């Protein structure tokens, strides 16, 4: 991921641990053949 995107996401969410959980959940969805927006 782009470092700028990571910084923006961290500012929105605040907690880096939550950010990691959100990203890993989204990656799992995409790997399971989920529809891309």
Token duo for residue 4 = 């700028």
Boundaries of domain holding 23: 3-32
Does any domain span residue 19? yes
**pLDDT per residue as tens digits for the range 1-37:** 688 988 888 888 888 888 889 889 988 888 887 666 6
Which residues are within 8 A (CB) of 36 and not within 5 positions of it... i.e. 6 or more apart?
Answer: 30
Does any domain span residue 24? yes
Does any domain span residue 37? no
Locate the DSSP E strands across 1-37: none
Q: First-to-last CA distance in the chain?
A: 18
Number of domains in the chain: 1
Q: What is the reported pLDDT for 3? A: 86
Q: What CA–CA distance (Å, rounded) separates 37 from 35?
A: 6
Does any domain span residue 17? yes
Q: What is the reported pLDDT for 1? A: 61
Does any domain span residue 27? yes
């Amino acid at each position: 991921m782009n470092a700028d995107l990571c910084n923006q996401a961290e500012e929105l969410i605040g907690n880096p641990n939550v950010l990691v959980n959100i990203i890993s959940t989204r990656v799992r969805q995409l790997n399971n053949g989920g529809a891309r927006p």
